[in-house]
Amino acid sequence: MGEGAGNDALLMPYISSCSIACGGHVGDEDSIKTTLLLAKQFGVKVGAHPAYPDSENFGRKSMQLSNKELEKSIIKQLTLFLRCCEQTNSPVNHIKPHGALYNDLFHDAAKAEVFVAVVKTLIPQAKLYCSPGSLIEKKAIQSGIQVKREGFMDRAYNEAGTLRSRTLAGAVLTDLKQVGSQVLSIVKEQSVPVFGGGFIPLSVQTLCLHGDHPQAVELIQSVERLLKLNGIDVH
């Protein structure tokens, strides 16, 4: 959230936590504070959503940064976010990398080490939201950082457990029934459909819906109804 999609207030009643853009792909002090206060109003837990420093591509294109450059950028974003949290008296629940950085941290050991080291230094108490089986999950656990494994309700999966690239057709799920089916599969069966057919195991503790999805509000309302019908609580 805090990405300028204009729907934050409409999404807040249906979610338990939100990841707030903190100046990498988008966001500034004003947008962070506004989103923090909105989350406080609805009792939603907050986390930092750092990204590659690439507003032109909304952080969704991989960047070849040196380890030092990446470290500097993440520190800058988290420092801004933490200052806003202090000013609004907002406890930090988690941290979740955004976009291409999230995807790169699945398999890039060097970047994962840099990211985990910054988290360990600045917000060691925060949970890390990440994909099951990712390198950053392993690095975080080794460093004593609490992990929350994350699944995606609105994205297609590859057989390796990674997300299908947004440059390819079918990467973003838009059909309400398809999203609902994927959510129930993840939550009840601990498995997720793979693009092209079949399923892979996926055991997670949190589900993500992208706030900039064109049908985000409709999707989250539909998913909430579906979960309630199946006796599943979000907390």
| Residue 191 · residue 148 · CB < 8 Å | no
Q: What is the pLDDT confidence band of residue 234, given thresholds at 50, 70 and 90? A: confident
Please report, as a single letter, which amino acid is at residue 96: K
Domain borders along the chain are 8-229
| Residue 69 · residue 63 · CB < 8 Å | no
pTM recorded for the entire structure? 0.96
**Is the pLDDT reported for residue 235 higher than 90?**
no
**Is the pLDDT reported for residue 231 higher than 90?**
yes
Please report, as a single letter, which amino acid is at residue 124: P
Dist. CA 84–CA 70, nearest whole Å: 22
Q: For the residues of 179-197, what is the DSSP string, one character each?
A: HHHHHHIIIIISEEEBTTS
Tokens of 6: 């204009």
- Give start and end residues of each alpha helix (H) in the chain: 8-11, 29-42, 67-87, 99-104, 109-122, 135-142, 176-184, 216-229
pLDDT tens by residue, 6-29: 999 999 999 999 999 999 999 999
Dist. CA 85–CA 33, nearest whole Å: 7
How many residues appear in the chain?
235
pLDDT tens by residue, 33-56: 999 999 999 999 999 999 999 999
Query: How many helices, marked H, and strands, marked E, lie in the chain?
Result: 8, 8
Residue 127 β-bridge partners: 94
Tokens of 176: 């309400």
How far from 123 is each of 37, 79, 97, 151, 227, CA to CA, in Å?
A: 20, 10, 14, 23, 32
| Residue 159 · residue 131 · CB < 8 Å | no
Share of the chain above pLDDT 70, in %: 100
Q: Given this model, what pLDDT does residue 157 score?
A: 98
Instruction: Provide the sign of the torsion angle of the four alpha carbons 6, 9, 12, 18, taken in this order.
Output: positive
Query: Is CATH 3.20.20.370 the classification given to domain 8-229?
Result: yes
Average pLDDT of the residues in 60-84? 98
pLDDT tens by residue, 136-166: 999 999 999 999 999 999 999 999 999 999 9
pLDDT tens by residue, 152-208: 999 999 999 999 999 999 999 999 999 999 999 999 999 999 999 999 999 999 999
